[in-house]
Structure 1
């Protein structure tokens, strides 16, 4: 007889659990709302190639044609400390999403106990009692509160994922930009040493003229001052070089004291062609925009949670177990018990807290809607600004190259005329100083143009693609 009672009662509990799981299908899963509408232009006002839809690939830094740069980017993606912290935040959000999902499953608790009554004097009988209990509970998610909690956690996970993509894009752009700056400083140091050598060459001419009485002591002092001025520019550039190299080392997660790049200059870098695609496609490429969408989705789910909290919550419970006053009869069928129950909890008076929390969630969502629109508009403006900057720098560089050619010609002619006695030293000094300034300005413009390309890659979302 006992062999029949145990399966029958356990089947009752199994039926109860099945009912709980099926009832879980009744919850309402929040439907993700579409992103708020933002008016998008048909094209970029500063686009160099109108109508082009080409986008950077996911290895956009390789277009600069530097193997050393590509290796540095790979090292940075593996070792950058900010990226490592961002990855940890993604893992934390994934854990939070898993925790939120637990609310959609039944909870099972087990209890067991045993006791023994010690005999008093003269009493040789000992009473042993024991019990075991298995309790299962499940909250029916009729109003979608638990599902909304899961949706909010999953949206938060997406936001953290896109946030890491933003950090990755920022770090990669910083590595490329700092590397280009370092190469530019190599070039500028070379130009500074060349200018110092030129000034020393002119000084030797002045000294030769002074030895035969063709140059005054004032001319000699002026040129010595020019030599000192050109030499003084070198230590400042060397310090900038050290600072840029240290900044690059930190981006790579390395110690600055043991880090060094090659002594090459910007002549080893290829200027890539970049087109901006269509503005509407920017929404699916920029990780900061996708992050704003995910944060907005989380806020929408929070609104659903706040609304569902206003309604009653229904919880089903099922219990089965055994109890006996003798340990040997613990599993006897007559000692097995089971029960099923349901409870309903509804808020009656909370001083308006739940409704206020709902109103708060709604207003927080409205704030994020405006933030999303602002993010999109800022992204559109950023791309257009960088495109205009590239066009402007290209024109400036073209004109500066013409200026450099004429400045070099003017200096060479003034030196020849000075040797022939047809020109005074002041003219030579002016053309020398102008040539040095133009060379330095051209180097800075070249760096700005390359860094503007990096900024455009970043503004376009780099080579990142939606997963």
Structure 2
């Protein structure tokens, strides 16, 4: 009886030690951290000196354009955009992978139960010739616990890599969300530009038809030639033919907006308006070093690089021996009634060690592959940083120059309109030749269309600057759990 208590005590201690094994694992994790060697400028070349103390864009930066319809479309896109929905689903997958990767760090516990009835052959019985052999039952109930001691940190490094990938998935959601918001804004501005150009073209068509009517009157009075009539008819026809392509652009951009907000094109109505009523919110870039934390795509590639570092550590740890602990305890009896009696109790404890010796260079190749991915992610991170600086510089230059061009183009339109009004009045009075009228007319039409294009380019540059600065994303808010 005493011996039974000693065996019971020893078995319980063994299973407790197996359960506590995770606390002793992961003692050795390397430091596979390559040098980044980033080139960070002290300031943006295209930024004003006062912009160095600027703050990041507001969370709802798109409201600065002062368009209620645009704000509604962006709010809708953040809820129903399918690209964002896919990114959220990827977060769910990445979180699940963290659980899968963390499972080997915990012991596995399995319950087993069996009932067996067996009859032995009479030909093999010790009595030698009787009829029928012995018949007996065996009932077993047991628990089996096993654990791979992660002494070299292989499983823990794999878990850390999965956690970094989950973090990268969250940053990716912010990248996708920012891209969707900017796409909605840009597409909406394209809609407004098409509407403006349609208004300009129809207004120019009306002006061309007025001039054509005057020339026809002069032709009937014998003061204008058929050539002059035909020239003006051609100009009016050109303006009339420019309308269908603009209507195509308008309709296609509205359809593109419908996709961005997760609606069927036939069910989306866009009121629109004019680019001239859209305000451009003021935004300044701040210091280039701040961009490393402001842009979610940089943080995403940083997390991917960190995951690659842990993957290299895991691949390196695979070269070391694997230690596995296994314990089984339970009850076994020939009678079900006495299954859980003290005498039916049993246990086994096993420790095993396996060391790879030759595997066809599998582990070596896996380590080289992990290092290749690490080098790839390192250069991707460097490129993301340099691309971010480049995006800000390009957006700053575009916004500054298109703002200046808009002011100059407005002067061109004002002067062209004044010249056309004078020419039209003189044509009605018969004091100007038709060539001058045609020239002023074409100059006005071109100037007004160019003004719409410049305004669109200025707004696209503004959204590009917001995107280049990371939008309104904040590093502290992107790692929230997905419900």
TM-score for the superposition, normalised by structure 1: 0.94
Q: Secondary structure at the match of 2:113?
A: strand
How far does residue 32 in structure 1 lie from its aligned partner after superposition? 8.3
Q: Distance in 2 between matches of 1:113 and 1:174?
A: 63
Q: Distance in 2 between matches of 1:463 and 1:233?
A: 39
Aligned counterparts, 1:353-432, within 5 A? 353-432=362-441
Higher mean C-alpha deviation, range 378-387 or range 7-16: 7-16
Residue 280 (structure 2) aligned to one of 264, 271, 275? 271
Q: Distance in 1 between matches of 2:302 and 2:393?
A: 22
How far does residue 10 in structure 1 lie from its aligned partner after superposition? 6.3
Residue 322 (structure 1) aligned to one of 302, 327, 331? 331
How far does residue 35 in structure 1 lie from its aligned partner after superposition? 7.3
Does the alignment pair 1:257 with 2:269? no
Which residue in 2 is equivalent to 1:15? 16
TM-score for the superposition, normalised by structure 2: 0.91
Higher mean C-alpha deviation, range 445-454 or range 181-190: 181-190
Q: Distance in 2 between matches of 1:106 and 1:404?
A: 78
Does the alignment pair 1:44 with 2:44? yes
How far does residue 125 in structure 1 lie from its aligned partner after superposition? 8.7
Q: Distance in 2 between matches of 1:272 and 1:445?
A: 17
Which residue in 2 is equivalent to 1:435? 444
How far does residue 127 in structure 1 lie from its aligned partner after superposition? 2.9
Q: Distance in 2 between matches of 1:236 and 1:136?
A: 73
In 2, are the aligned partners of 1:30 and 1:147 still within 8 Å (CA)?
no
In 2, are the aligned partners of 1:40 and 1:279 still within 8 Å (CA)?
yes
Higher mean C-alpha deviation, range 261-270 or range 278-287: 261-270
Q: Distance in 2 between matches of 1:125 and 1:18?
A: 41
Q: Distance in 2 between matches of 1:21 and 1:160?
A: 28
Residue 342 (structure 1) aligned to one of 335, 351, 358? 351
Alignment RMSD (CA, Å): 2.3
Cα distance 1:263–1:176, how it changes in 2: closer, same or farther (>3 A)? closer
In 2, are the aligned partners of 1:139 and 1:313 still within 8 Å (CA)?
yes
In 2, are the aligned partners of 1:16 and 1:318 still within 8 Å (CA)?
no
Q: Give the number of aligned pairs.
A: 465
Q: Distance in 2 between matches of 1:432 and 1:115?
A: 102
Cα distance 1:7–1:310, how it changes in 2: closer, same or farther (>3 A)? closer
Q: Distance in 1 between matches of 2:361 and 2:51?
A: 57
How far does residue 122 in structure 1 lie from its aligned partner after superposition? 8.0
Which residue in 2 is equivalent to 1:116? 117
In 2, are the aligned partners of 1:315 and 1:344 still within 8 Å (CA)?
yes
Q: Secondary structure at the match of 1:51?
A: helix
Q: Distance in 2 between matches of 1:377 and 1:344?
A: 48
Q: Secondary structure at the match of 1:132?
A: strand
How far does residue 33 in structure 1 lie from its aligned partner after superposition? 4.5
